[in-house]
Amino acid sequence: MPSAKKKSVPPTIRYPFWFGGSASCFAACVTHPLDLVKVRLQTRAPDAPKTMIGTFAHVLRSDGILGLYSGLSASLLRQITYSTTRFGIYEEMKSRLTTTSTAPSFPVLMAISSTSGFLGGIAGNPADVLNVRMQHDAALPEGERRNYKNAVDGLIRMTREEGFKSLFRGVWPNSMRAVLMTTSQLASYDGFKRLMLQYTPLDDGTIMHFTSSLAAGFVATTVCSPVDVIKTRIMSTSESKGLAKLLADVYKVEGVGWVFRGWVPSFIRLGPQTIFTFLFLEQHKKIYRTLKGVQGQEKVI
């Protein structure tokens, strides 16, 4: 095994809380069509297209190019709430546990990412319910469509027509998914960066950020796929159905294949989303360091 590279330890920099949410919003603008197709595949009717390309073609044929951006306002609202919370808490806890001589171990990174993910899942649940509904709406028969005008209109109508509790439909499976997502995405990204800095000749630059985020996206997709399918099924319906009954009904109709249903489009969506999020986040940090007059890279932890 090659020996770890010894590097000087620059001071840890504390970045603004909102950087993760901002980077995620930029990424969402790029990857939203992929997210929409993933939701359509996970909630499709029996006669709907079964492939990613077929679903893309169906959306373009039915709703035009703008149809691929249906629900974008809800997606941005979700990033502003969910991603700002999970990234902000994770980065703040990580910086507090870092000194000039020591950094949090990987198990500690997993623990703080789990905590930040759980809180982010709760904070972002209303926007997440709305996001799933707006993306799924055009796939419904015309008489069953909700036709929310935008994210604000959707939140108001959901509260008025279905009660305040509708905003937190599926909050527990969603929070569980957020824990898995944040742990497998944020902690693994930092873990991959640390390993690559130690055992490869790569420096802390764009190639490393791309490679680490691609690997983190693969891990996150595999870990989160089953929970993602459950979350989408719960949030897209107006029925009050328990988790156990939902799982039993899905298993009865689809067998065990439902667990990784839509994995490929999920990875095709989550891979680029993870890559763009971390690339945008690293650029936020680079610009911040430049504005603050800090030379070189921050300490990788």
**CA–CA separation, 146 and 183 (whole Å):** 34
**CA–CA separation, 204 and 99 (whole Å):** 19
* pLDDT at site 7: 44
Gyration radius of the chain's alpha carbons: 20
- DSSP string computed for 64-77: -GGGGGTTHHHHHH
**CA–CA separation, 63 and 59 (whole Å):** 6
* pLDDT at site 28: 92
Tell which residue, 17, 24, 1, 13, has the closest CA to residue 281. Answer: 24
* pLDDT at site 47: 73
CA distances from 130 to 29, 76, 159, 219, 298 (A): 17, 11, 11, 26, 37
**CA–CA separation, 46 and 288 (whole Å):** 50
* pLDDT at site 89: 96
Alpha carbon 144 to its chain centroid, in Å, reads: 28
CB 63 within 8 A of CB 138: yes
**CA–CA separation, 39 and 270 (whole Å):** 12
* pLDDT at site 296: 58
CB 106 within 8 A of CB 187: yes
CB 156 within 8 A of CB 88: no
**CA–CA separation, 230 and 253 (whole Å):** 14
The kind and range of the H/E element at 195 are: helix 188-199
Contacts of 237 (CB under 8 A, 6+ apart): none
Instruction: Identify the residue whose tokens are 């759980």.
Output: 118
* pLDDT at site 297: 59
**CA–CA separation, 22 and 280 (whole Å):** 8
Tell which residue, 216, 221, 211, 214, has the closest CA to residue 267. Answer: 221
Q: Which residues of the chain have pLDDT under 50?
A: 1, 3-9
Instruction: Identify the residue whose tokens are 């008025």.
Output: 160
Mean per-residue pLDDT of the chain: 84
